[in-house]
Structure 1
Amino acid sequence: MRHFFCLLIPLASLLMSPAGQAQLLQRDLGGFDLKLGTSPSRSMAQGLVKPSAAGSFHGGLDLAHDSGFYVGQWSPSLGISPGNNLEIDSYAGFKQPFDQTLGYEVGMIHYSYPEVDTLDSQEVFGGLTLLGSRFGVALSNDPDKRNSTLFADLSGNQPFGIGVSMKYTTHRFNAPVAVDGGYVGSFTDWSLKLSRPFMGIDLNLIYSDSSLSGSDCSAYVGHNSQCDGLVTLKAERAFY
């Protein structure tokens, strides 16, 4: 499976985009549906890929069968920009709707970093789609810790056209990490994202925080860009 994913990398490289809004190329290949774009195509994978790793140039592809099985590859950073290393997120899973309003999805993601000397990590996930909104859980095994994540994307109900998504993760170190005055064995972090398109611009307001503070923040290695509470306003626009 991993060798098959590696063959997809040259195609994903064609999807490099210096902007935030997704560009999508879709083709029907018999019983298969092929998508190439600058945003993860798969619903649960889109909520679980590590957002902190996103670089200026990114892209990926998704190949799905009519039966519900799919494979794909997403690179949040192609390693072209200074300070960004190549990351390849390969995933596979199965998605099936019960009807027009209810469905489920299960799968796994393999995170690899070919340019740096670090071990790969894996993540298994599952969730439900209800009236256009997504609710999921994921369990991952990083080289130094284990993580459990709850994820919700309330796309099915957008008051005033505002999208809402939330993520809450518990991180448990394999061995306690020494900090000033003691040790940290586990911590939690969370984020809340509000998004709305405006005149071709994708506006995002993000609040993130964690259970660590003060000197304990030296042990922080979570999903957010920093340990303490942070409010971020992002405005992105595609130029092609």
Structure 2
Amino acid sequence: MIRKSINLATAFIAACTMVSVVKAGVSGNIAIQSDYVWRGYSQNLEDPSVQGGFDYEDASGFYAGVWGASVDFGGDESTEGDIYIGFANETEGGFSYDVGIIEYTYHGGSSASDSNFTEYYLGGGFAGFSLTYSIGDEFGDNIEVGYGFDIEGVSIGAAYGDYDDAWTYWTIGVSGEIEGIGWDFSYWDTDLDDDPMGDGRLVFTISKSL
């Protein structure tokens, strides 16, 4: 599912896994990442980021939530706050789908809100493969393909994306859980060879569902 819930560990697992909602409920999540990377690009000047959010999921497939993270783009932005709403489910044949809207908002100094934007997204998945298309109202569209699978309690996944023909990115990683604490190691890279924020990097995440 494209939403940024950390109960899916990190973004690559969210890209590779479509979630079938099985019961109604509210859940929360907190996490610390060694670097908050979004579509291959550092959102925190390569420094650690504290993150967390809350989700509501209904048995029908409807969901809504909020998610926040510490960010640093070198300007006024110090906090990202996302609000999203959507519908996700899985057919009897094993095809999963997810459609929704997410509003990215930024807070800090007086000009932080200038970075706000909205995306509409549509995703589908089958047999571990996934495809997600996001339509942006400000910074362009994104298309991402992924594949993920589980083996002996460990999730392994990879994804490749193209963000508005401005850059491409890819990631591969592993994640799991030990005594209720989620962990994730992911490698990210882009074709932005002249921008250090898009250089290849290994990201470590620890998380906890509430």
CA distance in 2, matches of 1:237, 1:148: 30
Residue matched to 1:103: 96
Superposition pairs of residues 64-213 of structure 1, within 5 angstroms: 64-77=57-70, 85-99=78-92, 101-116=94-109, 117=111, 118-119=113-114, 120-142=116-138, 146-156=139-149, 162-170=156-164, 187-197=165-175, 202-210=184-192
Residue 234 of structure 1: SS of its match in structure 2?
strand
- Deviates further, 198-207 or 120-129: 198-207
Contact 2:172 2:186 in 1 (8 A): yes
Compared CA separation, residues 102 and 52, structure 1 to 2 (3 A): same
Residue 147 of structure 1: SS of its match in structure 2?
coil
Residue by residue over 1:141-164, the C-alpha shift from the partner in whole angstroms, topping out at 9 and shown as x without a partner, is 22xxx3110112311488x96421
Name the TM-score, length of structure 2 as normaliser: 0.65
Contact 2:77 2:107 in 1 (8 A): no
Contact 1:101 1:132 in 2 (8 A): no
State the percentage of identical aligned residues: 18
Residue 42 of structure 2: SS of its match in structure 1?
helix
Equivalenced residues, count: 171
Q: Does 1:231 align with 2:203?
A: no
- Bigger Cα Rg: 1
Contact 2:40 2:190 in 1 (8 A): no
Q: Which runs of 5+ in 1 are unaligned?
A: 1-14, 23-30, 40-46, 171-186, 218-223
CA distance in 2, matches of 1:97, 1:198: 23
CA distance in 2, matches of 1:99, 1:108: 25
Residue 75 of structure 1: SS of its match in structure 2?
strand
- Cα offset for 1:105? 1.1
Contact 1:133 1:157 in 2 (8 A): no
Q: Which amino acid aligns with 2:30?
A: T
Contact 1:53 1:76 in 2 (8 A): no
CA distance in 2, matches of 1:99, 1:199: 28
Runs of 4+ in 1 over 6 A off after TM superposition: 47-51
Residue matched to 1:37: 29
Measured on the aligned residues, the alpha-carbon RMSD in Å equals: 3.7
Q: Which has the higher helix share?
A: 1
Q: Which has the higher strand share?
A: 2
Compared CA separation, residues 75 and 239, structure 1 to 2 (3 A): closer
CA distance in 2, matches of 1:94, 1:238: 25
Q: Which amino acid aligns with 1:209?
A: D
